[in-house]
Each structure stands twice: as structure tokens, then as C-alpha cells.
Chain A
Amino acid sequence: MRRAALALALLLPVLAWGAPPPGAVNEETVRQIAAQLRCVVCQNLSVADSPSEMANQMRGIIRERLQGGDTPDQVMAYFVEKYGEWILLSPRPRGFNLLVWTLPFAGIGGGLLVILMLTRRWSRRTRERPVAEPVDPATRERIRREMTELGQ
């Protein structure tokens, strides 16, 4: 009995989260949508993070649209229709925008490749280093002479 009560207590929040009562709007969903939208009157702030009146009104519109039966995707589509993709904080991975998503990874990959090539080349060179260059007899003689001069 105690165990059943405990299980119910643990499960209840999950159940409540999973199935909100019809008509009610999950504030978390509102926040999630707002977090992906640019606050139009701010610089680099999402609608979720901005305290501005405009962002507040936009959150209200998100809530109302969800209440009206729109899916989160439909709500996003509405804002994109009105403002263009500019309203999305992260550009959609499509067309030219794809560059923004792939270029950093390509850069990291390319950098790793260069590091790999260079380290291999350098390590090979140090291994080859012990091969001494032959010193011509004249230089050898000069070194010897100057060393003895220094020694005196």
C-alpha cells in the first residue's frame, strides 16, 4: 500500500506533464517556442528572455494560438510568415543557411587534419636528424686551429 502510494506520488507529475487538461496551455511549450523566436525590438534576445512589452505580447500571442489548437510548428510558421526567417534565432539548415551549420565542423575537421599532417612531418624529421653533414677538411682544420688558439 505504501509502495503503491509512493509510486503514484512519483508518477503523478509525469502523468500531469504528459497529458495536460484539454484547453490548458503548457507554459513550458510557450517558453520553448518563445526561446526560438527573436525579440523584434531587442538586439540578440529571444522572446522568452526579453522583458520588453513587445516580447510579452508575443508570448501572449503564442499562448493564444496554442489555446486555439495550433501545434508548436504551426505557431512558429505563423511568425515566419509574418516576419520571414529573420524571426528564427537559429536559421533553418536549408540552402545557403546550411553553410552556417556545416562550416564550423568542416573548419574543425580541416584544422585537425593540418595538425595531424604537421605533427607527423615534424616527428619524421626529428627521427631523421642524427644523420650528420660531412664537414669539409678545410673547415675541420680551421675549427681545430681556433680551438687550440682559444685553449692558449
Chain B
Amino acid sequence: MPAQRTPTDVDSDAFERGLGPRNPPGGGLGGGAKPPSEGIWRRGKWAIPLSIIPLLVLLAYGFWTDPRAIPSPLVGKPAAPFSVALFDGGRLHLGDLKGKVVVLNFWASWCYPACYEEAPVLERGWQTWKDRDVVVVGVDIQDTEEPARKFLKQFSITFPNGPDPTGKISVDYGVYGVPETFFIDRAGRIRKKHVGAVTDDVFMREVARLLKEGS
């Protein structure tokens, strides 16, 4: 049955209308609101969403940036000198490699899959460029000897490689994870830091760039 308005309904509507809106919409607090108090609430309605916008922008910015991508302050600075005892015996001093382009790679045998992906790339690069003033150097960090040697054997790594048992080389290069690769120019300056597995493209591009510079 459709709602039929009874006289009572009409009356009560009229009653409400007659008394007028005591509480203006949104101004309910305190009752009997007077015009000035309406103002603050009307303005408040906008202030709350508006104040959220800067927070959202900040949040969006935070989500867009990669927390793992930390800009290294070392790019452009001289590469810290170090000396490493090689797995194959003997020592390697970075200072002895002045005049050559050095690809310094920090890795670990437990770093799967990234280090396993880039190992063939580095060996390939070494084989291709070793006769053209390029040296690839591996530094094994946060590792134990046995799995490290197994890793080198698995990928038939022939470029010089040694451990960093005290972590000093790692900290000197601001390493915060593996793998990380530094491209050092002939003058011994760090020119590029690559975080994550090195690809053939990156290796080729950086080495070619640094070789072209100072020959």
C-alpha cells in the first residue's frame, strides 16, 4: 500500500517547520548555534582534507623512491687504496693498477641469484678486455672460504679475487649489499657505482666510456 499521508503527518511536518531548524547542519555541537560558530566548522570541513594533501604527497614521494637505492657519496672521489690477499696466492694492491680501468666487484657466494647472474658477465668482460688496460677485481665479503672457492670454480673465474675478512674494504667503499660494482677510471677515481647484477650492457658501456677518456 502506498504511503498515504495522514493529517497527523502533515501536522508534525508543519510543527517541525514552524519551530525552524534549531541546529544548523554541521553546527550541532553546543546546540542553539550562532552564526560565528558555523564559520569555523564550514572552514574546518575544508581544512581537514586540505591538510591531508601534503601528507599524501610526502607519502607518494616516499613510495616512489627506492629505499634500497642509496646515492653513493663516493662517485667522483678517488677510490680508497686497499690491498687484498688473493685466493690464488699473492696480493693485489689497487695502487698498482693506476693507469688502468678497474672494475671492482663486491660479491658473496651466498648472494643468490644476483651474484650468480653476473659472474659469467664479469668473466666474459675480463676475457674480452684484459689485454686492453682493463682489470676486473673481485672482493668476496661476508663469506667463508670454502663456498667462495666453490663459487669461483663453478664459474671458472680467472680474474683476481680475494676475501675481505675484516670488512674494511667494504666500508671504505660504502658497500651495503652484494653485489655492488665500482667502475674506476685510469686516474683512480670512482666514476660509477652499480648496485645489483652487472649486465653485459652495463659492463660494456662503462668500460668503453672510461677507456675512451684517458688513452
What is A's interface to B at a CB cutoff of 8 Å?
A: 40-41, 53-54, 57-58, 60-61, 79, 81-84, 86, 118, 121-122, 125-126, 128-129, 133, 138-139, 142
Contacts and interface: CB of A to CB of B under 8 A. Distances in A.
Given A81-B73, A83-B70, A83-B73, A41 B176 contact: yes
A139 B18 contact: yes
Contacts of B37: 121, 125
A41 B177 CA distance: 6
Nearest to B36: A121
Contacts of B167: 53-54, 57-58, 60-61
A134 B41 CA distance: 26
B142 A129 contact: no
B81 interface: no
Contacts of A41: 142, 176-177
14 contacts: A41-B176, A53-B142, A54-B142, A57-B168, A61-B167, A82-B174, A83-B72, A83-B174, A84-B70, A84-B71, A121-B37, A121-B40, A125-B32, A138-B18
A57 B142 CA distance: 9
Contact of A61 (B33, B72, B166, B176): B166
Nearest to A133: B32
Contacts of A61: 166-168, 171
B23 to A, nearest CB: 13
A82 B19 CA distance: 75
Given A82-B174, A142-B18, A129 B73 contact: no
By CB atoms of chain A within 10 A, which of B31, B166, B171 has the most?
B171
B30 A122 contact: yes
B210 interface: no
Contacts of B15: 142
Contacts of B173: 82
A139 B170 contact: no
A11 B87 CA distance: 53
A82 B172 contact: yes
A84 B73 CA distance: 6
Given A41-B142, A57-B170, A126-B30, 16 more contacts: A40-B175, A54-B170, A57-B167, A60-B167, A61-B166, A82-B74, A82-B171, A83-B70, A84-B70, A84-B71, A86-B70, A122-B30, A125-B32, A125-B34, A129-B30, A138-B18
B57 interface: no
A84 B19 contact: no
A151 to B, nearest CB: 17
B31 A40 contact: no
Give 3 closest A-B pairs by Cβ, nearest first.
A57-B167, A40-B176, A82-B174
Given A83-B70, A84-B174, A86-B70, A57 B166 contact: yes
A39 to B, nearest CB: 9
A96 to B, nearest CB: 12
A58 to B, nearest CB: 6
A141 to B, nearest CB: 11
Contacts of A60: 166-167
A122 B41 CA distance: 12
B3 interface: no
B29 interface: yes
Given A61-B166, A84-B71, A79 B30 contact: no
